Chains A and B, each alone.
Chain A
Amino acid sequence: MVTLDAKIPDGPVQDKWDNHKFSVKLVNPANKRKFDVIVVGTGLAGASAAASLAELGYNVKVFTFHDSPRRAHSIAAQGGINGAKNYRNDGDSVYRLFYDTVKGGDYRSREANVYRLAQVSVDIIDQCAAQGVPFAREYGGLLANRSFGGAQVSRTFYARGQTGQQLLLGAYQALAGQIAAGKVTLYNRSDVLDIVTKDGAARGIVVRDMLTGQVHAHSAHAVVLATGGYGNVYYLSTNAMASNVTAAWRAHRKGALFANPCYSQIHPTCIPASDEFQSKLTLMSESLRNDGRIWVPRDHDETRAVADIPEDDRYYYLEEKYPAFGNLVPRDVASRNAKTVVDEGRGVGPLKNGVYLDFAAAIARDGEQAVRERYGNLFQMYERITGEDPYSVPMRIYPAIHYTMGGLWVDYNLMTTVPGLYALGEANFSDHGANRLGASALMQGLADGYFVLPYTIGDYLAPKLGEAALSTDDPAFTDAIQAVDNRTRRWTSKKGGTHGVEYYHRELGKIVWEYCGMARNEAGLEKALSEIPALREEFRKNVKVLGTPDGINTMLEKVNRVDDFMEFAELKARDALHRAESCGGHFREESQTEEGEALRDDEHFAYVGAWEWNGDDQAQTLHKEALNFENVALTQRSYK
C-alpha cells in the first residue's frame, strides 16, 4: 500500500527551499564519483540534469532515442522563458510569479514546488546567459523582455522565436562538455523500454539499441526520467512524432504513481488541420497574441473576402468578453472560446475549422518591419505550411494539444513513489496544476535539471555510500531483459494483420480527442472507457508489423509506444471521469458557470489524483494528495 508523502519542508513558503537545501544530506565531493546516475531523455530537463550532475562529479549515463541529444522536442518551444527578474521595473517579483503560476494552474498545483520554481527562475536566466544563450537584447546591451499569455508583467526572456532551441543548445553544449570530459556517457538511438526495480527501489533500465535491435540493461544508483509528456496519446498534437509516454508508463507499471493524467493543455494558436493525412499540428507561438487580434465573422454564413468584412461585422470575441485581458487570456480560456465560436458555425477557412489571428492593426500601428522583426520566422513558417501570406491576410488558428500537466507523481525532491526513481520536466506533474502558463515549460524543465535535482538527489544517495550498483547479471535485470525482448519479438513474429501502427494510433487519437479533449462529460468518458480497451484488443491482435526486430525497424519502435498509449489512454479517461469538476485544461461540461467558464469544486477536488498500478487485469487505485493553500486564496479565476 502506497502512502503519498510529498515531503514538503516546514516553514513559510519563502523559506522552505532554503531550509530544505540545508537539511538534505550531502555527498562529499570526493565521493560523488562513486555513484552512477542514469538520465533518460535529453531535452531541457534531462540535458541540464545530466550536465549538472556530471559537473558535481557523479558518473552519468544519458540515454536518448534521437541521433543527437540536441534533437529533443524542447527544441521546438518558441516563445520564451519566464524569470522573475523584474528587469522591467513593472512590479514583478518571485512572489508574483509564484502567485500567477498557482492561479494560472487553477489551484491544482503544490504551493511549495511552485514557489521554488519561481525562486530559481532568476538563476536560470543567469545560467543560460553565462552559457552563451543569445537572448534578445535592447540597444543598451541589456536583456529584452516581452509579456506573455496570462501575465500582466513583462517577465519573459526570449531568443527570437526559437527560445527552446537556444536553451536546449545551451544545455546540450554543457552536456557535450561533460561528455568530452568523460563524466557523461551518451547512448544515442537507445529506446528505454523498462525500468528495473529490486526490493522496491529503482536499479536501472532496459534499453533497445535502435540500430542493432539488441536489448540490454544498464544499472545505476538512481534513475532519472526526463522523458516529456503524453500529448501524442491524441495522435494529432504539436508534439514531435516520436514523443511518447513509454518510459513513464513503464515506471508506472513498476510502482510509480501516475498523477493527474486527465490534465492536458490545449494550445490556442496552432495551424488548423488541412486533411486526414496530416501527421501533426504546428504551433505558432502564442506571443503572437500580443499583437494579433482574434476574431471571427459575426455572420455564420459570411462569404465576403476578409478585407471586405467591415469592423462592425467582425466578432473580436476575446476582447469583448474579457476587456481586461483581451487576446491575452490564459490558454485554456482562449482555446475553449475558439471551440465555442467554431462549434457555433462561425469558423473560418475551407473546412471552417479555425479563427482569425489578425495583424493588420499591429502593422498599421508599428509598421510591417517591426512586426517582421518580432515574428518574422513564425510568419514564414505559417506561409510555408498554408501557402498564405499573413502580412496581407489574417492567419487562421485553432487549438491543439500541446502540453501535458499530469505526469509521474513526485515528492518535493522530485522522487517518484519508487525510491531512487526521479521524474523531471514535463514527465512529472508537480508545478503547473491543471493548466500551464505560457513560457513556464522551459522554466520548469531547466529548474528541475539545473537547480533542483542536483540538490535533492544527494539526499537519497548519501546513505548508499559504499553500496555497489546492482549487477546487470542479477535476475531482476535478466528477467526484465527477457520480458522486453519477448514483448518486442511478439509483434514481428505475429503473421498477417490488417492495419499498420499509424492506423491504430489515429483511431486511438480520435477517441481521446472526442471524449477527453477540450471538453469532457460523463457519458463521453464512459464511452471512451469502453472503446479504448476494445481498440487495444483489436490492435494487439491485428496490428501489422513488418521486418525484423534485429536492426532498425521504425514500425517496431512505434508499436511499443502505441501499445503503451493504449493502456495510458484508459487511465487518462478514468481520471477525467473521476474528476467531476472543471479546472484549467480539464473542462467537464457538467461543471461550468452560467457564463460557460470552468467551475472548480474545491470542496471535493482540491487534491492531486495519483493512480497506482494493480496489474494488467485490474483498474488502478486512486490515491489523493490533499493540496493545502496557505498563501494563495482560492478564487474563481476571472479574466474579465
Chain B
Amino acid sequence: MSKTLNLKLKIWRQSGPHAQGAFLEVDANDIPEDASFLEMLDIVNERLIADDVEPITFGHDCREGICGTCGVMINGQAHGPEKATTTCQLHMRKFNDGDQIVVEPWKATSFPVLKDLMVDRRAFDRIVEAGGYISAPTGTAPDANEIPIPKEVADSSMDAAACIGCGACVAACPNSAAQLFTSAKLHHLNVLPQGQPERWRRTEAMVETMEDFFGSCTNHGECHEACPKEISLDFIAFMNRDYVRAKITNRSLASQ
C-alpha cells in the first residue's frame, strides 16, 4: 500500500447551466499518493454516495491523457500544477499531506458549465467544422507515397496535430481566447502539401468562427503554459501570418 494523504477540498458544485453554484468543502482523507487526481475524485464520490449525497459530476473518459475529455482548474491552474499533464494523468504524489485543493470547472463564457465541473466545449467543434479538414472524399486518394513530405514538415504538422482539444488553453487565458487551439488545428493541415488547395479558405473561415465564440489574444502565453501537449506559441504566429495572407489572397481570388 502506498503512502496516503489527507486533503481539504473545495469543489465547485452547480446543479445545472443556469443554477447558482457554490463550493463544497470536503475532507479527503487517506488518499493513496499513487492515485490519479480523478481517482481521488472517484474516492470522494464513493464516500459522498455512501452518505446519500449526489456525486460530483466531471468530464472524463480515457484516463490516459489523450481523449481530452477531462480538465478542471486545480488551485487556479488548468489541469493543475504538473507541466504537460492532463488532469487524469496528474497523480496525488504531486501534492502534500494537509494541502487545500480548490477544484473548479474551466472558466470561460464560451464553455458554459453544464453541471459541477463539466462544461460544454462544442464551440471547438464549430471551429473545426468551419474548415478544419482536407476535402478528400473516400476513394479519391492517390498512392500515399506519391506526395513526399519532408520529415521536418510531417513532424511539424504532427507537433500541432497532437492537440487533444481539452480547452485548457482557453481556460488559462485571461481573455478566454482560443488562438492556441485554432492555430494548432490550422498548422496541422496548412503545412502539408495536401492542405494547400484549401489553405486560405480554411484559415479565414476558422479564424473568423473562432472570433465568433472566443476572446482576443493579447500574447500572455498562459495557453502554452497550461497545455498538456505543450503546443507551441509559434503556431499562433503562423496563423496570424496565414490569416493576413488569406485575407489578401481570398480577396484577389474573389475579384477574379
Contact = CB atoms under 8 A, between A and B. Distances in A.
B67 interface: yes
Interface size for chain A: under 10, 10 to 19, 20 to 34, or 35 or more residues?
35 or more
A242 B38 CA distance: 14
B136 A131 contact: yes
A277 B42 contact: yes
Nearest to B58: A554
A126 B142 contact: yes
A454 B137 CA distance: 12
B61 to A, nearest CB: 4
Interface stretch (B155-163, B169-177, B234-242, B244-252): B155-163
A201 interface: no
Contact of B32 (A143, A159, A274): A274
Interface in B51-102: 52-55, 57, 59-69, 82, 84-85, 89, 91, 93
Nearest to B144: A129
A144 to B, nearest CB: 9
Given A71-B69, A179-B129, A381 B144 contact: no
Contacts of A68: 121-122, 124-125, 165
B68 A136 contact: no
Given A173-B128, A546-B55, A75 B118 contact: no
B12 interface: no
Contacts of A123: 139, 141
Nearest to A551: B16
Contacts of A55: 137-138
A71 B154 contact: no
Contacts of B147: 129
A169 B164 CA distance: 10
B129 A130 contact: no
Interface stretch (A3-11, A160-168, A401-409, A529-537): A160-168
A289 interface: no
B39 interface: yes
A308 interface: no
Contacts of A186: 125
Given A73-B67, A134-B154, A275-B32, A241 B61 contact: yes
A71 B148 contact: no
Contact of A139 (B49, B68, B128, B151): B151
B161 A134 contact: yes
A524 B141 CA distance: 51
B55 A169 contact: no
Contact of B62 (A76, A160, A500): A76
Nearest to B32: A275
A132 B158 CA distance: 10
B217 interface: no
Interface centre among A143, A162, A173, A503, by most chain B C-beta atoms within 10 angstroms, is A173
B43 to A, nearest CB: 6
A552 B165 contact: no
Interface in A446-468: 450-451, 454
A544 interface: yes
A180 B154 contact: no
Interface string A380-392: 1100110100000
Contacts, number: 224
A87 B155 CA distance: 20
A129 B193 CA distance: 10
Given A68-B165, A552-B57, A143 B63 contact: no
A132 B138 contact: no
Interface in B114-158: 114-115, 118, 120-122, 124-125, 128-145, 147-151, 154-155, 157-158
A188 B122 CA distance: 9
A174 B151 contact: no
Interface string A340-352: 0000000000100
A386 to B, nearest CB: 8
Contact of B64 (A174, A274, A381, A387): A381
Contact of A176 (B120, B133, B145, B188): B133
A84 B55 CA distance: 49
Contacts of B69: 66-67, 71
A500 B46 contact: yes
Contacts of B61: 66, 71, 73, 240-242
B2 interface: yes
A135 interface: yes
B194 A176 contact: no
A76 B121 contact: no
Contacts of B135: 177
Top 4 A-B pairs, shortest CB-CB distance: A141-B148, A173-B133, A130-B141, A129-B144
23 contacts: A66-B61, A70-B68, A76-B66, A126-B142, A130-B136, A130-B142, A132-B194, A132-B195, A134-B188, A136-B154, A160-B162, A162-B162, A165-B161, A176-B125, A179-B129, A240-B61, A274-B32, A277-B35, A278-B39, A381-B89, A387-B93, A454-B138, A503-B46
Given A180-B130, A387-B91, A546-B49, 4 more contacts: A68-B122, A160-B162, A174-B133, A275-B2
